[in-house]
Chain A
């Protein structure tokens, strides 16, 4: 149903009036309730990023404790039980509460700006997802503080985590923390897919989408296809533990390897859920610092998609020592090695971009170069462990610990730190200190390699992972001491990064709209952007709209200012289809999240929680969706 747009509308020639009207319509009221009820993707994105970095710091403290314990043989700082909890917490925290959420968090902030829209699709779901994530993190860390922290490893293999050996509620805490983080990750994935499919600025055809946005699209599909596996796994584990089902009990027709299949069917794509956003960040950040367009746009995008597809054909390489049929092992060796092809394509595109460009070695580019070096090392030893005979030797040793820290920290955290430096002006309106940034890069880069490279050798020398101590007569002492000292350098680098970020957020230099002279749309608005992102929706004519014409930005007129309105465009060619309303702030997502949290935690203790606990959830959802007669509900 169309009807003429009532006055006042966006055809108002006075920009100040327009900005004032938009600010009123899109505002987040100040004060406590305003903060709880906001659905602004930028505020929620910043919250998400901040929270994820708090979890990074907490996980870092656990890592430091492990390194102090292992610095010398027969250390007595941590007992075996505490150590089990600490390495499990470290892994689970870093994977589920830091790595995946932080990548989605950056996307929650950036994707709507990069595609030129005013808010993320389903902004209330976005608010809900943050509260659920926060509750999941609080559950895990509260349990740890109460000596109830999970102690079964971050992949919680049965039978260790099953009812027979995993007594108490520690494994349930792990499984339910999974449920929280998966709900939030799936919610964000849906929001991102729909934002990228339907809310792109007019003219942003598929081949004009920034590579980071492509990366988040592929990642979101990975989340959607992979995460149901872990939800099924963790739910069936809780059922085995709570109501006596037998999924993982071989005595009654169950199977322990079923757990490994389900876990790694999720767990391997998980690696790419973390890596692909980082690769997208690199492809996007490299342009302003190489001072030229990224080489091979099509190759970069195709590599992302190919990695996304191959990601589902690799999970068995985590199970090479589980005694599966040989033919299966060979297939998964081949597919594991095949993933090196799209990874290689991207690396060569980045190198070509730098080779042909005039690189400006600011902190973000330093992290990019550090990433390429470290990730290639991690990739090469990945090709080594893809081989069954080699993997059989080093399985469950420090070689594997070294490998996955190379690909995860080198492959994802380095680009992320670069990205924080790069997008900090857009996030806060201030620039991070370049001097401190360079110092933190070198400390992190040197500290990281000195910490994790020797672990390859420790692994080859037979040091198993997850041991809380070792005897003095074993040949591991010297290297372990070296690793622990190097970890001090790494920690110093991270501390400096945190100091830089906190200081710059308050006292940093005021940033202009586009401090790096970058080509993508997020730099077309102010730093930080207003609540409505763009007063008028930009029109996109190429892949690098801000480099096409450095003086003029083509824009569209005609959106209403008395309701939250954005543009829906067609999937492939981004032609405008409708002016759609975007939901107003609401406190209901918070109530829904609290009701869901009560139900999920209660269900660790009683199956009836699902029945009685779902009633408040249903009421909260009805409150959430029931129309309030606002202009946004009109059509």
Chain B
């Protein structure tokens, strides 16, 4: 078969940003997987709740303080996170470095408070099905934070190396910002579920 050249692609950029980026779509697909997982975990909570004669089962509702504190930290972290995304878009390496350090700290803080959140549930995972499901919900989200924190730390380190000054890295930062927004967004229904449904 003969080939006929009808298009020259030579002028296209060497890397796509935003919706032209393959990793952006991949991140979105992984968010869909994890979002489905969280939705199903909440469905399990509601299912077990609908079967129980009293809810929580043989336990008081969880203490509000640590969970609410985590929620506030997570919500507050959105501000520098969104700023970081803008700086990455402007490809301002100095500001991005600062932003990545701030986000590394803001990723660690909720984990510290989270240590106090597990005992505040006032039930053990092996006490009953209620305990099992709230520990699982909290455990899932903790894994979520840890995963993104490790990603943030590695990326922050990377931004301080010679590899940092690259459109590809700024795109990575933007994807990381999007993922952290997702970590915060998934927490809100979980927070409502763990702390407020138990008080209905």
Contact = CB atoms under 8 A, between A and B. Distances in A.
A559 interface: yes
Contact of A253 (B3, B13, B125, B128): B128
A579 B14 contact: yes
A194 B129 contact: no
Contacts of B41: 232
Given A252-B129, A552-B3, A554-B4, A537 B9 contact: yes
B132 A247 contact: yes
Contacts of B16: 568, 577-578, 580
Nearest to A247: B132
Contacts of B166: 633-635
B22 A122 contact: yes
A224 B36 contact: yes
Given A558-B7, A559-B10, 15 more contacts: A2-B12, A198-B22, A224-B32, A239-B125, A244-B126, A247-B48, A252-B127, A262-B44, A552-B2, A557-B5, A558-B9, A568-B22, A577-B20, A578-B13, A578-B20
A546 B1 CA distance: 10
B15 interface: yes
B11 A558 contact: yes
Interface in B27-45: 29-30, 32-34, 36-37, 40-41, 44
A635 B15 contact: yes
Q: Which of B1, B32, B47, B168 has the most CB of A within 10 A?
A: B1
Interface residues of A, number: 76
Contacts of A546: 1
B13 A1 contact: yes
Q: Which of A228, A261, A539 has the most CB of B within 10 A?
A: A228
Interface string A591-623: 000000000000000000000000000100010
Contacts of A225: 32, 36
A253 B51 CA distance: 8
B26 interface: yes
A340 interface: no
Interface residues of B, number: 56
A567 interface: yes
23 contacts: A2-B14, A193-B25, A198-B25, A199-B22, A227-B33, A228-B40, A239-B125, A245-B129, A246-B128, A252-B127, A253-B128, A258-B47, A262-B40, A550-B1, A554-B4, A556-B7, A557-B5, A558-B10, A578-B16, A627-B163, A629-B163, A633-B163, A633-B168
Nearest to A523: B1
Given A122-B22, A555-B6, A524 B13 contact: no
Interface in A503-533: 513, 524
A625 to B, nearest CB: 7
A552 B129 contact: no
Contact of A243 (B14, B33, B125): B125
A32 interface: no
B26 A2 contact: no
* 7 nearest A-B residue pairs (beta carbon): A558-B10, A578-B16, A253-B129, A245-B132, A635-B15, A244-B126, A635-B167
Contacts of B167: 1, 635
A32 to B, nearest CB: 30
Contacts of A10: 10
Interface string B167-185: 1100000000000000000
Contacts of A3: 14
Nearest to B126: A244
A571 B154 CA distance: 31
A253 B48 contact: yes
A254 B13 CA distance: 56
Nearest to A195: B22
A577 B7 CA distance: 13
A228 B33 contact: yes
B72 to A, nearest CB: 28
Contacts of A625: 154
Contacts of A249: 129
Contacts of B154: 622, 625-626
Interface in A224-268: 224-225, 227-229, 231-232, 236, 239-240, 243-247, 249, 252-255, 258, 261-262, 265
A438 B47 CA distance: 53
Contacts of A224: 29, 32-33, 36
A198 B41 CA distance: 31
